[in-house]
Structure 1
Amino acid sequence: MKISARLAFFAIVSTLAYLGLAVWSLGGWAAFFSHGALVVVVLATLLMTVAALFTEVNLSSGEREDRANRWVLPAFGVIGIASGFLPAYTDRIDFWTFGGEGVRWLGALLFIIGGALRMWPVFVLGKRFSGLVAIQPGHSLVTEGIYSRLRNPSYLGMLVIAVGWALAFRSGVGLLLAALTVIPLIARIHAEEALLRAQFGSEYEAYCSRSWRLIPGLY
């Protein structure tokens, strides 16, 4: 285990609480696990949590941090809690839902793809991957591999996960929450870019000129 014991404990507890909230919202264990796609989503979530225990993700403010951007953390937290409850609940009462089991399986597939896209960069960046917008000691710019054409693959993974989660519950409300995630996410991206531009100057400018910020071919 590479991350701190405190972060590991938080990751495990928050994941179990999040899944427990969704199970309760859908009507209990029997109702939740009667859907194969939701079983896959749970297994994928647990696998991502276990994988995170072997990363070097941290909450270090490093050598320099944009503390003004910390507001996105509680914003993500509020949206996350809402996402844990509302999609499953609207599925249970059949409010603003669409499609059937095929939509659930599409959601499970996107959830897995998003999870891989979210976790891969975490392993690539190692100690440079912080929950805060910060420059870490010995920080270097990564512009190859998964970062060669996309500057924020992990954040794209977050969005794909959110869409996949919403579809797994056939939830229009879940899709709205996924869209709402874009607001703090874009704010964080801009804060990170400003910090990286100040740190790496022309090297980062050149990288930006040949890569996409979040969605290839669009943004």
Structure 2
Amino acid sequence: MRIRTWAMPLALAGASGALLLGAWALGGGGLAAFAAEPARPLLLAVTMAMFLAGPLAARRIGDINAKGGKHLKRQDGMIFLSMGLSLALGVASPLSDAAGVGTLPGGAALRWCGLGLYALGGMLMIWAPMYLGRYFSTRVTIQENHRLVTDGPFALMRHPRYAGCLYWGLGLPLVFLSLPGLAAAVLYGLTFVWRIRDEERLLAAHFGPQWAAYAARTRRVVPFVF
């Protein structure tokens, strides 16, 4: 694989690591204190792995801008809002943990639960787009000759990528026992409520009975629950 294929993922991995460690330092923490809780450096390692898996996913997915077909333009702004809130929780979580402000109860056990959620979210965020292939889009879109995918991760839930984003967003502040980060994660999660609502209306209108049958036997983001 060409070096330039890895340039962007490497840059994003470095930037995400710098963001987390920079926010930690801003809160008054040092590297030794960061490593004192093993869940924190492991979260950093999972974050690096997520971005470095990007080139593998990119080989399978289609045009993420989805120039063809129908898409809901009103959702385009929600993408930027989600990105902004993800940055906010990425800063607030390590900063508050380092400063000892707004700390959640639960200790190491909650940190490890958060790491598990974070890693599961990262896996779904990569697996779902790879499985969709050319049908994947960052927009709420019906592409030309679109097929309703109901197997793989989509057999477990209707929106596995959004589920991954939600698990990731919840897991991050839990690793840092951060109440401010958790508040940002809730706002981040709410952006997907509107996105899921619009996407399901679009899919129902396009696929009709096929979508209705699929929706009747699956849940949105938590298998067997919701």
User: 1:190 — aligned with what?
Assistant: 197
Q: Secondary structure at the match of 1:132?
A: coil
Contact 1:111–1:165 at 8 Å: present in 2 too? Answer: yes
User: Match of 2:57, SS?
Assistant: coil
One-letter code aligned to 2:55: L
Match for 1:76: what amino acid?
Answer: S
CA contact (8 A) 2:39 2:111 kept: yes
Q: Against the structure 1 CA distance between its residues 218 and 36, is the aligned structure 2 distance closer, same or farther, given a 3 Å change threshold?
A: same
Shift of 1:76: 0.7
Alignment partners' CA distance in 1, 2:156 and 2:41: 34
| 1:18 maps to 2:16 | yes
| Equivalent position of 1:42 in the other structure | 44
Q: Give structure 2 stretches of 5+ with no counterpart.
A: none
Which residue in 2 is equivalent to 1:166?
173
Aligned length: 216
Are the aligned partners of 1:61 and 1:132 in contact in 2 as well (CA < 8 Å)? Answer: no
RMSD, aligned CA:
2.3
Post-superposition offset of 1:100: 2.8
After TM superposition, give the deviation of residue 94 of structure 1 in Å: 0.6
Alignment of 1:61-80 (within 5 A): 61-80=67-86
1:152 counterpart = 2:159:
yes
* Structure 2 partner of 1:130: 137
Give me the whole-angstrom Cα distance separating, in 1, the residues matched to 2:214 and 2:88: 36
User: What CA distance in whole angstroms lies between the structure 2 residues aligned with 1:129 and 1:38?
Assistant: 32
Mean Cα displacement is larger for which, 97-106 or 42-51?
97-106
Structure 1 gaps, min length 5: none
Using the alignment, how far apart are the partners of 1:19 and 1:145 within structure 2?
Answer: 31
Percentage of pairs with the same residue:
30
- Are residues 61 and 9 of structure 1, via their aligned partners in 2, closer, same or farther at CA, if it must alter by over 3 Å? farther
TM-score, with length taken from structure 1:
0.88
Q: CA deviation at 1:50?
A: 1.7
Structure 1 residues 15 and 135: alpha-carbon distance in aligned structure 2, compared to 1, 3 A threshold: farther
**For 1:107-118, what aligned pairs fall within 5 Å after superposition?**
107-118=114-125
Name the TM-score, length of structure 2 as normaliser: 0.85
Mapped contact 2:16–2:47 kept (Cα < 8 A): no
Q: Deviations over 1:63-110 (max 9, x none)?
A: 111111112111112101111211111101111113333332222222
Residues 210, 106 of structure 1: alpha-carbon distance in 2 compared, 3 angstrom cutoff: closer
